[in-house]
Structure 1
Amino acid sequence: MNTNTLPTDELKKYGIINEDNSFSKKLNTEDIQKFLQGYTIVADHDKNRATFQLTDNNSKLKVIFLERDKNISEILENSKNNIQYTDTENVSKSASELNFEKKAFIFDKETNQVVEFDFIKNARELTAIIADKKNTEELNRYKTELLKLKSFLQDKIDQFPEMAKEITNDLNIVSKEFNTVAGISEKQNHSQKREKSDIQLNVNDPDVYQDANRIREEESQEQDEEIQKSRGFRR
């Protein structure tokens, strides 16, 4: 780990280190150590996100600027109620590059933190978490977002033929998750319909009505006998 070749001018420019070359107080010791080992620093503000990573033996700073369709404060607040989905554009890339990402933000009640998942990189984990919630509405929302991403990638294959292989790989991942979710959704709908059918069968079962009528007739006879006994006692 080399710290002698740090690009100090750039690090100062983005507020990662101070004028005296000390690291920003916003970073703790663990953050600094990870950053020097190649981990990425992420800075969020409103709809904007910037990521910083040291490369080439800590001699260069890789900076990526992203722009979301929602404010980070809005995402964090609303994620407490349901899963938040965002579309993110990598504004550091040129128009000739694929610069789109789709993310899901899920509130973890155990840690009381919001966790971010990428639709491509964290596909299987994301699907498993949402399916485990057993919430039909959430599952359908996720299915809709997968379908949007699937359509987007299909369009991009024609737009970026030189990246067709990479985009196709991403498309295959999304298609697989969509099929998985569609299968889960179909099973849930079938199960719900069967439960409703069982209820209807019970209600419309002729034996149920016959038993009910028989019980009512027996109760009526018992009541008549009681009335007759009561009248006879009065005499």
Structure 2
Amino acid sequence: MENKLRLYGFNNLTKSLSFNIYDVCYAKTERAQKDYVAYIGEQYNSERLTNILFHLTEMIGATVLNVSKQDYEPQGASVTFLIAEPSQLSQTSGETVVAHLDKSHVTVHTYPEYHPDNAIATFRVDIDVTTCGAITPLSTLDYLIGSFDSDIITMDYRVRGFTRNIDGKKLFIDHTITSIQDYINSETLEKYDTIDINMYQANIFHTKMLIKEIDLQNYLFNADVYELPPKTRLQINSLLRKEMIEIFSAMNVY
């Protein structure tokens, strides 16, 4: 975006980024599963999510107009920002925070849950960023990936509408992109198996990523890997990988 296009009138291109991450964990007992959900609720409550979105809006050069946040019982949280390109008034009220962009918005929702049979717990985060005009949310991807423990990531990016250059020619996209991967740091990409499904003629881009290496200790909740016999470690590793592959593939494989 360093070389800005000279446009005629208002840039009404709409850019939408949908970013979904999944964090997978092994929690053997019912108590461990409930403790895991409680831990996620504490670590990723609406206050922390709000702070993440504030930083995200700073990164794309937007101004927060209104923020709405909510924690849920027994689990989960939601935050919505309304944002704008020019400097605007932001406000909070009581325990509720609402952020508005006159042209754009950002939302985040969390969904912790656990499998009823195999002791696998999954934490899902959905973030949607919609902007109009010159702002693009793609520059925030490394920050978003690093803000969560991301085992599986799915990203969808679409540009709609059009604008005109000073000669009146319609422009249906105002920046260069061949893949969402173009906007992710190479060191981050090396940690994942990644595939694309892109429709260039429609300005629709889809990328999904699956973590390559599993350090089992990082996936055990309230347990020590060295207290487990080798066979049990292999079984847990297999359960984790199966869960990840099915989420990554978006189908029941096993």
Higher radius of gyration, 1 or 2: 1
Question: Structure with the greater relative contact order (CA < 8 A, sep ≥ 6): 1 or 2?
Answer: 2
Larger relative helix fraction: 1
Larger relative strand fraction: 2
Question: What TM-score results when the alignment is normalised by the length of structure 1?
Answer: 0.29
